[in-house]
Amino acid sequence: MRHEVRFSGFGGQGIILSAVILGRAAAIYDQKYAVQTQVYGPEARGGASMSAVIIDDEPILYPKVRNPDIFVIMSQQGFEKYGRNTRKDAMMLLDSDLVYDRPSCRWIGIPATGTAKKELGREIVANIIMLGALTGATTVVSEEALEKAILDSVPKGTEDLNIRAMKRGHELGKEDRKQ
Amino acid sequence: MQGNIASAEGALAAGCNFFAGYPITPSTEIAEHMAARLPKRKGACFIQMEDEIASMAAIIGAAWTGARAMTATSGPGFSLMMENIGYAVMSETPCVIVNVQRGGPSTGQPTMAAQGDMMQVRFGSHGDYSIIALCPSSVQECFDLTAKAFNLADQFRTPVFLMADEVIGHMRERIDLPDEVMVIRPRPLPEGVLPFTPVDNGVPGFASFGTGRRIPVTGLTHNEQGYPDTTNPARHESLVRRLVSKIEDARHEIADFQVVNEDAAFIFVCYGAPVRTVQEVVDRRRVPDTGYLKLRIVWPFPEKLLQRFTNVRAFIVPEMNLGMISREIERHVQVPVIPIGKIGGELHTPEELIEAVHFAGGDA
């Protein structure tokens, strides 16, 4: 089963790291194939940021995302650029604190930035909440693989915070999906 | 792992112990990674130089001390290196240069992919010469071919180029790291043999500085002792013919390639990132009667490989430039060669290549 996952948001939110973690979870801990790419522009922090992961049971030949079936959108600008014309059967997780529009495909609003700030005290883990939500809402990677990949990727001393963010995201992703 | 990091790791696995460079997008991760890793190795050294001219000079100097030396750059830096690349060719200095190609000319498109330096790598410095250029099309090949580049550099006493591109350099994939990689060092310089006397297929032995041999090193035309001898036509001719032939004569022996569907009517010839699109189209049977020749070593160009395709009706050559290697192919074959040059920074899509097959007369 091939999945194409598109992340978008603004620079500094960890959009590229999110894709790297997801790809690592799939390729190393779920024993699938994964390729991670990004729009690698000269954007500074605050500019639009996009990254992508393809996850497949078979080797991935053409490495670029063509028609994503899963979106993780963390800014209004990111939605406008990548979220408007999705395929009908796509699933979109959006940060409901930062994205005002809603897509025509299936979607789940995750209050990631607010939850990160209020419940966990660190806005910076909003992207990890979104990754956790992905395991709650889809089967693209397993929760165990994601947890290991997060632990590989986050700075020492922040493991506990990040795992709490992932678990909270998982719950949010599982909650009522009809909004 | 990212392609650029895999290049750095491949170099380290091959025993690279000297890196001099000046960071430039999209190759910067290589310098960053070497800066983090090399100082932790005994006797190894990382230097950030003032520019790419100096970077190239530094790796030449390091190579003459016996180091396995490397630099990494992209188009604008590559242009600056040209003069000293000629010096490395003339002085037969083994070294590895990584070029993660971006859109040019000039500063062009720093963050976008291209393969526009494929002729520059072959002919960019002045005078007649030959070099070896490898092109990775996966993160695994970034590792494997960088390690291999060091061996070829030592074996042929020549600068060797890893001509990557932004797509492959910045892509992340899983790779398998071997426990160890094969290491081939230069043939030693035998006692009583002059330092520039060829000892094996046109390649002289190598004695680094400090090993007891007196070796003048110059970019001027020189005799076998290494002393300048610039007005003797026969001397110049034999030296330069040897510099070319030591590499060109080995082109079929060192050829590194993959052939799929040899009997097909439409054969893609590809290297670097476009290989991935070709594989999507051919391996996944998106269009019938197609095959491909994937080149991991593009220069010296192994033209005999083209003769294997006895049923070929057309060669289709997707490149992220306006047609460079396609012309090299055209020189060697009788059937039509269709260049699919794409510039702007994006990889060919499968649809574009399928359309090319239709254009060439293939069935839908």
Per the structure, the complete domain to which residue A49 belongs is given by 3-174
Q: Are residues B126 and B215 in the same domain?
A: no
Residue A179 lies in a domain: no
Residue B353 CB-density burial (10 A; 0-12 exposed, 13-18 middle, 19+ buried): buried
**B144 shares a domain with B49:** yes
Same domain, B120 and B48: yes
* Claim to verify: residue B156 and residue B70 sit in the same structural domain: yes
Distance CA B58, CA B72 (A): 12
pLDDT band at A12 (very low <50, low <70, confident <90, very high): confident
Mind telling me how many Å the CA of B93 is from chain A's nearest CA? 35
> What is the span of the domain harbouring residue B237?
198-248
Q: Does position A30 have pLDDT exceeding 80, yes or no?
A: yes
Structural domain count of chain A: 1
Question: What average pLDDT does the segment A18-28 reach?
Answer: 97
Looking at the fold, whether B35 and B126 belong to one and the same domain comes out as yes
Residue A104 belongs to some domain of the structure:
yes
Q: Report the CATH number that the domain containing residue A27 is assigned in CATH.
A: 3.40.920.10
Q: Is position B177 within any domain?
A: no
Q: Which of chain A's residues have a Cβ under 8 Å away from the Cβ of B277?
A: 61-62
Q: Could you tell me if B30 and B143 lie in one domain? A: yes
- Shortest distance between the Cα of B104 and any Cα of chain A, in A, equals 16
Same domain, B149 and B296: no
Which of chain B's residues have a Cβ under 8 Å away from the Cβ of A41?
A: 111
The answer to whether residues B229 and B272 belong to one domain is no
Residue of A nearest to B349 (CA): A62
B13 shares its domain with B152: yes
Cβ contacts of A128-131, under 8 Å, gap ≥ 24: A128/A14, A128/A18, A128/A154, A128/A162, A128/A165, A128/A166, A128/A169, A129/A165, A129/A166, A129/A168, A129/A169, A129/A172, A130/A18, A130/A72, A130/A74, A130/A93, A130/A95, A130/A169, A131/A18, A131/A21, A131/A22, A131/A72, A131/A166, A131/A169
The reply to whether B176 falls in a domain is no
Both B276 and B229 in one domain: the answer is no
ipTM (interface pTM): 0.91
Assess if residue B75 is contained within a domain. Answer: yes
Cα–Cα distance for residue pair B274/B284, rounded to 1 Å: 15
Q: Lowest-pLDDT range, A8-12, A94-98, A172-176?
A: A172-176
Assess if residue B186 is contained within a domain: no
Residue A140 covered by a domain: yes
Domain count, chain B: 3
pLDDT of A178 reads 46
CATH code for position B160 = 3.40.50.970
Cβ of A66 within 8 Å of Cβ of B349? The answer is yes
Contact B173 A61 (CB under 8 A): no
- Residues of B within 8 A of A60 (CB-CB) are 173
Distance CA B30, CA B7 (A): 7
Residue B175 lies inside a defined structural domain of this protein: no
B185 within some domain? no
Which residues from A are below 8 Å from B when comparing CB atoms?
20, 23, 27-28, 33-38, 40-42, 60-64, 66
CB A25 within 8 A of CB A32: no
Closest to B171 (Cβ–Cβ): which among A33, A36, A42?
A: A36
Where is the domain boundary, B208, B227, B248? B248
Residue pairs spanning A and B at CB distance below 8 A: 52
Q: Which of A40, A41, A61 sits opposite B284 (nearest CB)?
A: A61
Would you call A40 and B349 a contact, using CB atoms and an 8 Å cutoff? no
Let me know if residue B145 belongs to a domain: yes
Residue A39: pLDDT band by 50, 70, 90 thresholds? confident
pTM above 0.90, yes or no: yes
CA distance A122 to B69: 44
Q: Which of A35, A62, A64 sits opposite B173 (nearest CB)?
A: A35
Q: Of B354, B293, B358, B359, whose CA–CA distance to B329 is shortest?
A: B293
Helix (H, G, I), strand (E, B) or coil at A54: strand
On whether both B227 and B321 belong to a single domain, the answer is no
Contact B347 A37 (CB under 8 A): no
Contact residues on chain A for B284, CB-CB shorter than 8 A = 61
Inform me whether the pLDDT recorded for A179 exceeds 50: no
In this complex, which of B110, B174, B349 lies closest to A28 when CB atoms are compared? B174
A144-161: pLDDT as tens digits:
999 999 999 999 999 999
Q: How far A121 CA sits from the closest chain B CA (Å)?
A: 31
pLDDT block averages, 10 residues each, chain B of length 364 = 98 98 97 98 97 98 98 98 98 98 96 97 98 98 98 98 97 95 95 94 95 95 97 98 98 98 97 98 94 98 98 98 98 97 97 96 71
Strands (E) across B189-289 are located at: 198-200, 203-204, 257-260, 266-270
For residue B348, which of B110, B165, B142 has the smallest C-alpha distance?
B165
* Chain A: residue whose CA lies nearest to B139: A35
Establish if B308 belongs to a structural domain. yes
Interface of chain B toward chain A, CB-CB under 8 angstroms: 25-26, 110-111, 166-167, 170-174, 276-277, 279-280, 283-284, 346-347, 349-350
Residue B65 and residue B117 share a domain: yes
User: Which CATH number characterizes residue B282's domain?
Assistant: 3.40.50.920
Give per-residue pLDDT as tens, A45-80.
567 889 999 999 999 999 999 999 999 999 999 999
A102 falls within a domain: yes
